[in-house]
Structure formats: structure tokens, C-alpha cells
Amino acid sequence: MTIASPPSPSPQPLRLQPTGWLRYFSFSLDHKVIGLQYIVCGFLFYFVGGALAGVIRTELATPISDFVSRDTYNQVLTLHGTVMIFLWIVPVVNGGFGNYLIPFYVGARDMAFPRLNAVAFWMIPPSGLLLISSYFIGGAAQSGWTAYPPLSLTTPAMGQILWIVSVLLLGGSSIFGGINFIATILKFRQPGLKLMMLPMYCWAMLGTSILVVLATPVLAGTLILLSLDIVAHTGFFNPAAGGNAVVYQHLFWFYSHPAVYIMVLPAFGLVSEILPVHARKPLFGYVTMVYSIMAIVILGLVVWAHHMFTSGTPPWMRLFFTIATAFIAVPTGIKFFNWIATLWQGRLALNSAMLFSCAFILQFVFGGITGVALAQVPFDVHVHDTYFVVAHFHYIVYGGTVFVIFASIYHWFPKFSGRMLNEDLGRLHLALTFIGFNLCFAPQHWLGLNGMPRRVAEYDPQFSLINQISSVGALLMAISTLPFLINVVMSLLQGPAAGPNPWRALTPEWLTSSPPPVENWIGAAPLVEEPYGYGSSEGRIDVNQARGQDLWRQQP
Amino acid sequence: MTTTTPIDTDLQQQDDHESDGHGHGEHPDLRMFGLATFLVADGMTFAGFFAAYLTYRAVNPLPPGAIYELELVLPVINTAILIASSFTFHRASKELMRGAMGACRGWLLLTAVMGLSFLGGQMVEYFELPFGLTDNLYASTFYALTGFHGLHVTLGALMILIVWFQAREPGRFTPSDHFGLAAAELYWHFVDVIWVVLFGLLYLL
Amino acid sequence: MRIPSAIITLIAGMALVLLGQWVANDVNWLPVSASTNAPVYDELFRVLLAIGTMLLVGMTGVVVYSLIRFRRRDGDQQDGPPVEGNLSLELFWTAIPAVVVLFLGIYSYDIYDRMGGMTDLNAHGMDHHAAELASVRQSQPGDEERIWGGIAPASSNEAVLPVEVTALQFAFVFHYPEQNITSGELHVPSGQAVELRMKANDVIHAFWVPEFRIKQDIIPGQPTVLTFTANQTGDYPIVCAELCGPYHGGMRSHVVVDEPESFATWVETNTPATLS
């Protein structure tokens, strides 16, 4: 292989952009600024979505509909789902951490298309505000985040149309992001950096972006047809006009099942970065990890109809989708076993990043087990559209992805800000979130098995006690955000300085100052061939005395 | 972790080759790669529409009187024009590679005119069709598919006209650097291929 | 004395299996089983629950053990062993889940078949059944004799009691075509197969009886058949499980399972006077 000469610093003149905190409100082209814009913006929407969840759990504290009107309740649950998925999880795990980390990991000074990157981010706040404002102008959409017709055709049109416009914009932002990540990971690597040397998060983002590019446009097309049904009174999905409501479900889930992997694969990637650093061991089974990500991508595209086992799908389809869905457990299982093998015999630092990651493993395993169960048609027929499903997917997206987002913030905050977070507050945050989350969602499995459907404002009084326990859990989750916020604000102002590499990590983002300079490295970008080379002789040198350069394996 | 797969080396060589081939400084020009990825996404939108259309045909029988014998003469002429316009565009970029900017602009203009006449033909067909947008499921699907494709053609024709206009300026497009023209061409071929599939599904199936 | 790790693993594994068996068989997670396919469902549920419990408790145990056993002591700057993988181990934990998952898929196919779910209602050779379904078909003249799946009767020879179900915002209406009874709640005799011929008037609803372990979406434009045989008398809730509008949570009814004699009495008292 050729020895690459270090890329020279960009000859272009400095961009006319604000510096200091103002740049976070600007059309900045710096991938690190855009990444943090995604993360902070996502957090603001997380509070909106969390408040909406609070409304739902308050309503469900009693078996009768007494807190908000029934119309409002349906608007709230629709907004909660849409905000949490499209404005919080997808943007943060993809756009947020992806933008911040991927250029470091491929040894580049920015993303492949910085301008497109900024456009993709700046599509998010307006569409989010549009979505939320629809509540105040004539009422938000009421048909759930799935927007199944004919219900979505009969509820007030204004809210539904604004919902569609907003989701289309967010989908567009997501596609632009996906194109950018694919180009950056495949084509923007520094010379000498091979695909199989990349940190696992790159692979996860490559897989995710392939899903985004293949699946999101189908949702966009579907929503265009849905809006034609609403505005122009065509009958694509309206049985009263000769249309077919099930076709919508097929098209919708063709995107929305992969959407689960769009939320979860990046989380897998982030965990794969965090665990080896804090366990001081190489990531176990790198190659099988890569293949399992790609297997999940392929299988993820052919399992959508398991959301429709009660929709009158033909028997052969149920059989095929049962087997395909259950088989996703195999590559997913490989990843979990590999993480546990990574922990085994390591030297585990019991800090917040590690503990949040371990909580993620346990909760995702739980969600995965109920997922395999739900893939079985006869099982699904009983619990479909019940609180069992609500519990299942909150274990996947909250117990899975959101826990990883927190783990990642504890892990990368020193890099973002140059200051350490407080570990005691971090562990308090973990304990409250862990207890609150499991208290909120574990009992919901029982509710679903025993007869409580989802998306209801009122329910059989025999379920009162369990629902109240669940609501208490939700309250704990809300409270758990406080130590986190205090921690972030206090640490930003007066946390101890982190230094370039507080975790003694080997991935490239740590081989520069914290926070990193505009073009990521002063001088040449390091070529990291073994991002997980812990336990080799380099790992044993006294890292506090060593400079970053000593940790890199330079090309011979 | 230094495992190497064949793909891996290929890509790497391509990378090296590209970064050598272009004089852009640090990195290769990835805009065509990005556009191609975007067209894959755009193609998936059409794939969704096609899948919906085929499902409708399979499971949603039409009400009586909703089966139409579509007039084929105009659409066939239209199809021929659109396919030919792909070749004229290709001719335009060949002229550019030869450095004959005048000829290149001529072929570009011809391509744009062909695109616009396709749109005109589409309009004429719309006015002559025996059904309206909301008449039945087939009619709605017909208009949605051809309309969405028509939007793409409109956008493409606009892009060609812009490129044609920009090509006045000497040195705007050179044999080694002509992203705008190349992008418009790739997009135009894409629109063309989609039309062929669409024509087969809507008119011939 | 050091106990060999193989023995510890063996004991832990046996404890896990016992725990899984106990949770699955001796803890009651499900509502009363009141139809013939409910016990079949419960059988699958117990298998899934046993496997799931073993997996969850096992994984939790390993993670918690690692966190305690391998935690970093203060001042320890050393790395763990540079183990990057182990091919046979990785093959092992690819193969085992694949086998388990394949077994589950085939097993649940069998379960579903026993519940009658794999019967294609449009298949040929069910002509004797076709006549019974005629009323459903006629309700949709544009629909070319197509019945959308549901759970078909396990054995179509027994006498079935047909009931027409209409779901609308926000109620179920039950009509007994043979007795000409229209009712807001469903009455069925214990031990006899009941065939629900369902249609929705406005939006998608779903018919769910948790005690029968059956659920079926009722989609406008798609007449659907769902068959069950109740076998335990009682009064069970019918729940709409698909978001259908503001009063979705209130869209509930009852199914009353009677002994055949008391069902006959109910029919008699509710049959409208015939105008023969």
C-alpha cells in the first residue's frame, strides 16, 4: 500500500462565520457544530415529547377520561410518538453523534458535503415547530404516529396535513444526512484507512444510512398519496372510494420497521465504541459485528408485515414474515454476546457511561426477547395493539437507544466541552432512570397480556393499580432528568478540565484537544489502524505521561 | 484489526486514483456519488408507487366502466421522444469532451426542447383522457404516477436550460470539470429509465 | 478449594432451566382461558416465556457478575487481555440462536395451524363453506369473492353459529342472521363454533377477546371471518384494539358464554315475533 502523505490543511480562506457560542445558532459548516446542534435541538424536543408522555401517564392514572379531552388525548399521543421518533431519537443518534464522530473516524476534517449537512440540520427546527404549532392552529393530527387511513382521512384535515408536511421535511433531512454519511464513510476516508479498520460506529452508520436511503423515500411517497387522499379526495387508501387501507400499512411499515433499525443500529455502534474504552479490552469479534450489522440491514428490509398480522394478510405472508423477523434475533444476538465477551475479564470502570451501556444491554435483551415472541403470529394475534407492544418498543427505543444516548453523552461530553461531568450525579441519574424506566414499562407487559389495548384514554378499572405504578415510574423518569441537567450545566461552567484524552481511548477523536480545533487536528490527521488495540503493549505505557502521538500506530 | 476484503482494496484504489486524478486539493469530488445515491432514494419513491399500483391491480377490482383502452399513439411518440432525448444529451456531453462548445449547446437545447415537448404531449393526453383524478382508483394512480414523473421531467428540463445558459460562458464547463452538465445528464437518464418502467406498467401491462 | 468453572456453569445452567420452567408453568400471567384455542396459545406462551426467562436472567447474571468481578480497582491503569475474538465461540452463539429461532418459527407455525389460522379462506376445496360465507360476500358486490383472513374453523364439519358483526365508531353491533336477533353484546353457547362475519363501516377497528386469545382487525372494504369456540361460561370483555377515534377507549362490549340450554333461552326471549 502506498504511504499517504499527510493531507495539507485546506488552502481555502477562513469562512465568514461567527465564533464562540453564537456559531451554534448559525448556518455553520463545521461538522462538530452541526453535531452539537443536532444533539441540543434533539434534547429540547425530548423535553416536549417527555411533557407529552407526562400528559398521557397523568390521564392513565385513573381509568376514566378526566385529565384532557379525548380529542386532545389522541393529539397528545400522536405528537408524543412523532416528536420522540423523528425529532429526538433519529436526529440525535444519526445526525448528532454521526456528524460529530464520523469525520474523526474516517480521518477527515469535515463531512463529504458540509453545506448539505447544514441544510439537513436546519430543516429540523422549522419542521419540529410546524408540527408542534399544529396543536395550536386547529389541533394536531389525531391518528397516531402511524396515521392509518381511513382514520387519518376522517380526523380534522389541517392537523393531519401539517403532520405530513413536517414528517416529509424530517424525512428529507434524514435522506440528506444518509447520503452524506454514505459518501463520507465509503469515499472520504483518509488514504491508507481501510474499511475493516474503521471503528464500529462507522459500520453502524453505513448500515443505517443505507436503510435511510432505501426506506425513507417510500414513506415520503406514501405520505404524498395520503395527502392527495385528504386534499384532492382521491381514494388510494380510502375503501369508501374503492381504495385499499392495507396498502398504506404495507408502504408505511416498509419504512417504519427499518426505522427501528435506523434508531437502534447507531446505538449499537455507539455502545461498541464505549465498552472497549471503559473495559480496557478490544472489541470482541469485530468481523462478525460487521457482518451482523449488514445482516440486520438486509433482514430489516424484509420483515415489515409483522406489524400487520391481524390485518388480514394471507397465510404464506405471515409464515414468511414470522421466520424472517425471528431470524433478526440471530445477528442481534451475536452483537450482544460479543459485547458481553468484551466485558469479560476486562477492567471495567464503573462510571456512568459504562453503567448506562450495561443497562442498555439488559433492557434491549428484554425488548429483543419480547420482540422474538411478537414475531410469532399466534402470540402476536393476542397482544397486537396492546400495552404489551407499547412496553416492547419502549424497551427497544428507550431502554435501548435513549440509554445509549445518555451513555454517549457521559462518554463524549469531555470531548464536546473540554470538561468532565460529575460521576456521582451521573450515577444518580442512572439509578433514577433505570428504576423509573423499568417501573414504568415492565408492568405494561402484564397489562397488554390481560386485556388493555394501546392508545386508550380510559380503561377497565381492574387495571388501575398497575397503571398507577406505571405512572409513578414515568414521574421518576421525569425527575431523573434533573440531576442530568444540573450536571451538564454545572460541569459546563466549572467542571474539572478533561484534557485531550481522559479515558485513554484509542479512537481518533481522542487524539486531539478537547474541544477539538475547527479542522479537527492541528497538523496531520492520525491514521488509526487499530481503534480497539487495548491490551497490547501500547496500552501498558503510562498514558498520563504520553502524548497522543505515542498511542497511534503510525504506518511503517 | 487489519483484515482486508476484496471490496475494501478496490474502493481504496479507486479513492487513491480519484484523489490523484482531480486537482481539488484534499479530497476527490464526491458530488456525482452523492447525486447517484440521491437518485437511488428517488427511485425508491417510484418503487413504492409501482408496488402500490401493482397491489391495487392484484387485489382491488375496478368498478364496472373503469377499464379503459388507453390511446397508445401519443404515449408511444412521447416515449420515443424521451428516449431519444437521452441520446441527444449524451451527444451533447460527447461534444463537450471534444471541446466543441457550440455543438454541445445545440444538442443541449435540442434535449430541452424534446423534454418540453414530452411535457406538452403529456398535457394533451391529460386533456383527452376519458377519466379525471378522482374517478376511480386506476385513474388516481395513473395521474399520481405520471404527474410525479412529469414533475421530475419539468425539473430536468429546467436543469438542462440552466446548464445550456451557463454553457454560454467560456470555460464554465471543461472536459475535465463539468459537474453541472454531468449531474443534469445523469438525472435525465434516470428520469428516462423511470418513464420506460412506468410506461410498461401503466400502458402495456 | 477451587471449584472448576465447568461445574459452576453446569449448576448455573440447571438453575436457569428450573427457573424458566417455574416461571412459565407456575406463575399465572394470562387471563382465564375460555376458548378452545386459548390452551393452544398458552402452550406457546409457556415455551416462549421459559426460553425468554432463561435468556434474560442468564444475560443479566453474566453482566452483573462481570461488573462486580471485573471492576477496575482504584489506581489500576492496566488493560485487560488483548482478546479480539474466538471463532468457535462466535460460531457457537450464532448457531444456537439460529436453531432456537428456527424451532420457534416451526413450532409457532404448528400452533397457528392448530388454531386454524393457516387455512386460506379463499382456497378451493372449501365449497361447502362457501355457501355459509355467501352473505359476507354479497355485502361487497365489487369484491370478487374475496374473504380476508382471520381464523378459520379448525373443523368445518360441525354446525357453526354465524353472527354478523358490524364495527362502527364507537360500537360493535351483532346480528344473528338465522335467528334475526340484533344485539349490542355477543351471546354464544359454550362448545359450539361461532363464525363472526365482520365488516367495518367507517375506520379500522379490531375485535379482541383477551380470554379467547383472538384478535382480528376489521378493515373497511374487507369482509373478514373469525371463528372461535368458547368452552367456559362467563362474561368476557370485547375490546376494540385499533385506534378508531376519540372514543376508542370506550369502544367495548361483552361476550356472554352460556350453557347451550341457557343460550337457547336467550335466543327465544330475544327473537322478534316472526311475521310468517
pLDDT of residue A525: 85
Could you give the CA distance from residue A134 to residue A72 in angstroms, rounded to a whole number?
12
C131 and C105 share a domain?
Answer: no
**Cell triple for C156:** 368445518
pLDDT at C129: 45
Distance CA A318, CA A320 (A): 6
Question: C143 vs chain B: nearest CA distance in angstroms?
Answer: 7
End-to-end CA distance of chain C: 93
Please tell me whether residue C235 adopts helix, strand or coil conformation. Answer: strand
Please indicate, yes or no, whether residues C107 and C185 belong to a single structural domain of this protein: no
Determine the distance in angstroms separating the CA of A10 from the nearest CA of chain C, rounded to an integer: 37
The pLDDT of residue A255 is 94
Does residue C103 fall inside a structural domain? Answer: yes
Q: Nearest residue on chain A to B48, judged by CA atoms?
A: A218
Share of chain C above pLDDT 90, in %: 43
Least CB-CB distance to A196: which of B3, B37, B62? B3
What is the dihedral sign for C-alpha B119, B125, B127, B131?
A: negative
B41 is a domain residue:
yes
Question: Does the residue C254 lie in any domain?
Answer: yes
Residue C276 lies in a domain: no
Contact indicator for A264, B165 with CB cutoff of 8 Å? no
CATH code at position C203: 2.60.40.420
Report the DSSP beta bridge partners of residue C200: C167
The beta-carbon neighbor of A187 closest among B8, B30, B42 is B30
Q: Which of C71, C78, C86, B1 is nearest to A537 (CA)?
A: C78
Q: What is the rounded distance in angstroms from the CA atom of residue A519 to the CA atom of residue B66?
A: 63
Residues 142-201 of C with CB under 8 A from A: 142, 148-151
Q: What is the pLDDT of residue A16?
A: 52
Tell me the domains of chain A and their CATH numbers: 33-535 (1.20.210.10)
In a domain, B189, yes or no: yes
Spatial distance between the Cα atoms of C189 and C249, rounded to a whole number of angstroms? 28
Q: For residues A410 and A274, give the distance between their C-alpha atoms in angstroms, rounded to a whole number.
A: 10
- Residue A552 pLDDT: 45
The whole-number pLDDT of residue C114 equals 82
C160-168 vs C171-176, strand pairing mode: antiparallel
Contact B142, B132 (CB under 8 A): no
Number of domains present in the structure of chain C: 2
Sequence-separated (6 or more) residues with CB below 8 Å from residue A398: A437, A441
Q: Is residue C74 part of a domain?
A: no
Same domain, C103 and C141: no
* C142 and C261 belong to one structural domain: yes
- Taking CB atoms and an 8 Å limit, are A453 and C98 in contact across chains? no
Three-state secondary structure readout of C175-223: EECCCCEEECCEEEECCCEEEEEEEECCCCEEEEEHHHCEEEEEECCEC
| SS3 label, residue A550 | helix
The reply to whether B10 falls in a domain is no
Output the nine-digit C-alpha cell for A389.
Answer: 407492544
Residue C44 CA neighbour count, 13 Å, CB half: 29
Residue C205 predicted with pLDDT over 90: yes
- The tens digit of pLDDT for each residue in C212-228 reads 998 999 999 888 888 88
Tell me the residue range of the domain where B116 lies: 28-204
Average pLDDT, chain C: 83
Chain C residues lying within 8 Å of B63, measured CB to CB: 142
Which domain CATH number covers B119? Answer: 1.20.120.80
Has residue B84 been placed in a domain? yes
Cα-trace Rg, chain B: 21
Based on the structure, what is the number of domains in chain B?
Answer: 1
* A79 Cβ contact list (under 8 Å, min separation 6): A48, A49, A52, A131, A132, A135, A140, A141
End-of-domain residue from the set C57, C80, C114 = C114
Residues contacting C78, CB < 8 A, separation 6+: A280, A347, A539, A540
Cα gap A68→A77, rounded to integer Å: 12
Interface test with C, best of A145, A248, A376, A444 (most C CBs within 10 A): A376
d(CA A282, CA A474): 37
Beta sheet of C234-240, edge-to-edge order = C186-189, C252-258, C234-240, C205-209, C214-218
Q: What is the DSSP letter of A2?
A: P
The pTM (predicted TM-score) of the whole model is 0.90
Phi, psi at residue A160, to the nearest 5°?
-65, -40
A 520-539 near C (Cβ less than 8 A): 532-536, 539
Are C146 and B63 in contact (CB < 8 Å)?
A: no
Tell me: the pLDDT tens digits for C141-191?
Answer: 334 445 555 565 555 556 789 999 999 999 999 999 988 899 999 999 998
Could you tell me which chain C residue has the CA closest to the CA of A366? C56
Q: What is the pLDDT of residue A556?
A: 33
Residues C133 and C264 in one domain: yes
Judge whether A399 and A364 are in contact, CB under 8 Å. yes
| Assigned C-alpha cell, A125 | 427546527
pLDDT at B12 exceeding the cut of 50 = no
Cell digits of residue A235: 381514494
Search chain A and give the residue with CA nearest C54: A369
Alpha-carbon dihedral angle through residues B4, B6, B7, B12, given to the nearest 10 degrees: 70
CA A502 remoteness from chain centre: 25
Does A81 contact chain C (CB < 8 Å)? Answer: no
Contacts of B61 in chain C (CB under 8 A): 142-144
Residue C122 in domain: no
Does residue C265 share a domain with residue C198? yes
Grid cell digits, residue C234: 362467563
Percent of chain B having pLDDT more than 90?
A: 60
Share of chain C above pLDDT 70, in %: 83
If asked whether residues C193 and C230 sit together in one domain, one would say yes
| Shortest CA distance from B32: residue in chain A | A183
Which stretches of A295-408 are assigned E, i.e. beta strand? none
CA torsion, ordered B92, B94, B100, B101, to nearest 10 deg: 40
Shared domain for C97 and C175, answered yes or no, is no
* Residue B57 within a domain: yes
DSSP annotation string for C52-83: HHHHHHHHHHHHHHHHHHTBPPTT--------
DSSP string spanning A5-36? Answer: PPPPPP-SPPP----GGGGGGS----HHHHHH
Q: Which of A236, A237, A253, A283 to mutate to test the interface with B (most CBs of B within 10 A)?
A: A236
Residue A493 CA: distances (Å) to CA of A32, A405, A498: 20, 22, 13
Chain C partners within 8 Å of A248 (Cβ): none
Round to whole Å and give the CA distance between A554 and B1.
14
Residue B125 has pLDDT above 50, yes or no: yes
The DSSP symbol for A510 reads G
Cross-chain residue pair B61–C144, CB shorter than 8 Å: yes
| Residue of A218, A222, A308 for testing the chain B interface, max B β-carbons within 10 Å | A218
Q: How far is CA A285 from the centre of its chain?
A: 23
DSSP H helices, A237-314, are: 245-279, 286-300
Distances (CA, A) of B77 to A63, A302, A538, B82, B198: 66, 39, 71, 9, 15
Q: By 3-state DSSP, what share of chain C in percent is helix, strand and coil, each rounded to 5?
A: 40, 25, 35
Q: Would you call C17 an interface residue with chain A, using a CB distance cutoff of 8 Å?
A: no
A515 φ, ψ (degrees, to nearest 5): -65, 155
Give the integer Cα–Cα distance in Å for A415 and A39.
14
Alpha-helix runs per DSSP H in A398-509: 403-417, 423-449, 464-494
Decide if pLDDT at B5 tops 70.
no
Whether C208 and C110 map to the same domain: the answer is no
Residue C211 and residue C180 share a domain: yes
Q: What angle do CA C159, C163, C167 make, to 5 degrees?
A: 155
Decide which of B169 and C174 is more confident.
C174
Integer Cα distance of A538 and A530 in angstroms: 11
Q: Give the mean model confidence (pLDDT) for residues C130-140.
A: 43
In a domain, C20, yes or no: yes
Q: Does B176 touch chain A (CB under 8 A)?
A: no
Contacting C residues, span 196-225, partner chain A, CB-CB under 8 Å: 202-204, 206, 208, 210-211, 213-217, 219-222, 224
Tens of pLDDT along chain A (556 residues) come to: 334 444 444 444 455 566 677 778 888 889 999 999 999 999 999 999 999 999 999 999 999 999 999 999 999 999 999 999 999 999 999 999 999 999 999 999 999 999 999 999 999 999 999 999 999 988 999 999 999 999 999 999 999 999 999 999 999 999 999 999 999 999 999 888 999 999 999 999 999 999 999 999 999 999 999 999 999 999 899 988 888 999 999 999 999 999 999 999 999 999 999 999 999 999 999 999 999 999 999 999 999 989 998 887 787 888 889 889 989 999 999 999 999 999 998 999 999 999 999 999 999 999 999 999 999 988 998 999 999 999 999 999 999 999 999 999 999 999 999 999 999 999 999 999 999 999 999 999 999 999 999 999 999 999 999 999 999 999 999 999 999 999 999 999 999 999 888 999 999 999 998 899 988 888 888 888 888 988 865 444 444 444 444 444 433 3
CA distance A198 to A202: 6
Regarding whether C251 and C157 lie in a shared domain, the answer is yes
Task: Tell whether C110 and C211 lie within a shared domain.
Answer: no
pLDDT, position C151 = 62
- Domain span including residue C37: 5-69+88-114
Residue C228 lies in a domain: yes
Number of neighbouring beta carbons within 10 Å of residue C266: 18
Residue C169 lies in a domain: yes
